Amino acid sequence: MQTDFLVIGSGIAGLTYALKVAQDCPDKTVTIFTKTQSDETNTKYAQGGIAGVMDADNDSFEKHIEDTLIAGDGLCNRQTVEIVVKEGVQRIHEIIEWGAQFDKEPDGDYKLGKEGGHSEFRILHHKDVTGKEMERALLEAIKKAENIQLISHCFVLDIITQHHLGYLVTKSTPDIECYGVYVLNLQTNKIETVTAGVTLLATGGNGQVYRTTTNPAIATGDGVAMVYRAKGRIENMEFIQFHPTALYEPGVRGQSFLITEAVRGDGGILRNHAGEAFMERYDERKDLAPRDIVARAIDNEMKVNGTEHVYLDCRHFSKEKFTEHFPNIYAKCLSIGIDITKHMIPVAPAAHYSCGGIKTDEWGRTSIKNLYAAGECASTGLHGANRLASNSLLEAMVFAHRAYKDSVSNVVLRKASPSGGGLEGAGIPDWKTDGTTSPKEMILITQSVKELKLLMSDYVGIVRNNERLHRAMKRLDLLFAETEELYKKTIVSPQLCELRNMITVAYVIVKSAEFRQESRGLHFNTDYPGKSEMVQNIVL
């Protein structure tokens, strides 16, 4: 299969990019692969909203830039922050034109919410299901574009580089180039070779590496793992953001339900089991301090009091006010017997967002030629050591736009070879399946996934130390060896590939955490409680 523009991922980053290149280049083909259903993405679950300076009377670019820099704890790239904040407003207007609806006041102005770390009300939202609404609007626009094909249930295995043509590729190879991808079509069970002029990775986050996460099952860090295997650059992976308030539901596995920070923005108060509003003891911004501070405070309260959760108190809200902004949360709580007007909501931190990722420049270019990355899988320099709430949907749209601009203007689209055997006669080989058989026991995969999640949660969570990181690495080595052995002799499946990708991502997180010998933002190591004088990114 050949396509001009290849997009891996159907969340906000992938769909925004695809729409833009398709509109600008109507004679070119755009192909989107997504590994399960088209709308099953982190994007769909975004609740709080998208940050943007929409109220110029009370807010300003400078304030949004400053808030982002403060949250990022000294590690943001100021130029990137300015780009995202300033260009973001245009991108918000575009998605509104594509049909996304955000809540409005009776006078027609947008209703703006507030979340942790924001000095002003600047969060546009669609009730408490903002991401679902944005995903809906984008998917509808995609359906109308004749030169886009969105193919669901296609699991991308690896990006194709010179390595697949038989050349030695290392981290120091100067011009690593991406020719396309190998993809497992889950409808036909065949592995196809797909060549492309330009490839965009928009594969989202990696929350599934942890036992408790707000991320859906698709969030296994595949893009980061693929680039790492292809010897591309990965940056700042130690900064895993734990959302302070996921609903605590004992026995629920997989994805935890989020209680958006906007609830605290509207006045929700965190309390411990004694009923104390404990955030006063940790930060003068109390419940609306940046996420790293609130998550660590909750973690400390839970450890000191020996409890598995704290509470979010919304009993002082009127039912009308709460249900108007948060109908989905109200219904979810009620479904498990919590009437938020009478009971406090049990909450605990959960892995939520990957601030680091595939290193990109100001045009979304990765270190591999013809390969772009945007959205949560990318590390653009916006978030630094800690992402400001509701900045990620904004970042995804801004960098999808920039990647589109660069890819249509600078990249010469390739011609497929007349023989159809690859690019310009390059002769890309088919995926090798010789000597592999069907897996005999799924337990070999599922048990390793459990072990991985446990070790990451226990040793590489909100609070870390050298001993824990060392233990995590030793256990990862064993899981890696066992999984590679299985991989060599087994026919590939999404489950096995996801396990392999998650081990790679976990390894990169631990390695980066070991390199960062200080505590900054989301990375807190009790062996190095202070900040280092040298402010640096960790690039692997």
| Residues recognised as catalytic | 291
Q: Does 222 bind ligand FAD (CB under 6 A)?
A: yes
Q: Does 396 bind ligand FAD (CB under 6 A)?
A: yes
Shortest distance (Å) from residue 388 CB to ligand SIN: 8
Q: Which of residues 251-280 bind ligand SIN (CB under 6 A)?
A: 260-262
Residue 17 identity (one-letter amino acid): Y
Which member of 117, 356, 375, 521 binds ligand FAD (CB under 6 A)?
Answer: 375
Q: Does 395 bind ligand SIN (CB under 6 A)?
A: no
Tell me whether residue 116 is exposed, middle or buried, using C-beta atoms within 10 angstroms of its C-beta: 0 to 12, 13 to 18, 19 or more.
Answer: buried
Shortest distance (Å) from residue 204 CB to ligand SIN: 13
Which member of 48, 72, 117, 375 binds ligand SIN (CB under 6 A)?
Answer: 48
Residue 488 identity (one-letter amino acid): K
Nearer to ligand FAD, 13 or 148 (CB): 13
| Distance of alpha carbon 469 from alpha carbon 528, whole angstroms | 13
Nearer to ligand FAD, 278 or 356 (CB): 356
DSSP structure string for 143-186: HH-TTEEEE-SEEEEEEE-GGGGT----TT-TT-B--EEEEEET
Which residues on adjacent β-strands are paired with residue 3?
Answer: 196
Q: Where are the beta strands (DSSP E) in 186-278?
A: 190-201, 234-235, 240-247, 269-271
Q: Does 203 bind ligand FAD (CB under 6 A)?
A: yes
Q: Does 158 bind ligand FAD (CB under 6 A)?
A: no
Contacts of 414 (CB under 8 A, 6+ apart): 195, 196, 197, 423, 424
CB distance 473 to 527 below 8 Å: no
CB distance 123 to 146 below 8 Å: no
Give the interface size with ligand FAD as a residue count (CB under 6 A). Answer: 43
| Distance of alpha carbon 183 from alpha carbon 56, whole angstroms | 46
With contacts defined by CB under 6 A, name the span among 48-56, 59-67, 416-424, 532-540 that binds ligand FAD: 48-56
Q: Does 33 bind ligand FAD (CB under 6 A)?
A: yes
Shortest distance (Å) from residue 130 CB to ligand SIN: 8
Residue whose structure tokens are 């989020």: 258
DSSP structure string for 39-105: T-SHHHH--S-EE----TTT--HHHHHHHHHHHTTT-S-HHHHHHHHHHHHHHHHHHHHTT----B-
**What's the sign of the alpha-carbon dihedral 213, 74, 280, 268?**
negative
Nearer to ligand FAD, 29 or 34 (CB): 34
Give the interface size with ligand SIN as a residue count (CB under 6 A). Answer: 9
Q: Does 13 bind ligand FAD (CB under 6 A)?
A: yes
Q: Does 41 bind ligand SIN (CB under 6 A)?
A: no
CB distance 516 to 525 below 8 Å: yes
Residue whose structure tokens are 């929350």: 207
Which member of 17, 110, 155, 179 binds ligand FAD (CB under 6 A)?
Answer: 155
Q: Does 234 bind ligand SIN (CB under 6 A)?
A: no
Integer-rounded Cα radius of gyration of the chain: 23
Residue 352's Cβ-side half-sphere holds a number of Cα atoms within 13 Å equal to 29
Shortest distance (Å) from residue 47 CB to ligand FAD: 5
In the list ligand FAD, ligand SIN, none, the entry touching 156 (Cβ below 5 to 8 angstroms by class) is ligand FAD
Per-residue contact flags (x/-) with ligand FAD for residues 328 to 347, judged by CB under 6 A: --------------------
Q: Which of residues 119-138 bind ligand FAD (CB under 6 A)?
A: 130-131
With contacts defined by CB under 6 A, name the span among 90-98, 247-255, 337-345, 388-396 that binds ligand SIN: 388-396
Q: Does 117 bind ligand FAD (CB under 6 A)?
A: no
| Distance of alpha carbon 43 from alpha carbon 39, whole angstroms | 8
Which member of 390, 448, 483, 512 binds ligand FAD (CB under 6 A)?
Answer: 390
Which member of 19, 225, 358, 389 binds ligand SIN (CB under 6 A)?
Answer: 389
Which member of 34, 386, 448, 483 binds ligand FAD (CB under 6 A)?
Answer: 34
Applying CB under 6 A, which residues contact ligand FAD? 8-14, 33-36, 41-43, 45-50, 130-131, 154-156, 202-205, 214-215, 218, 222, 258, 353, 375-377, 390-393, 396
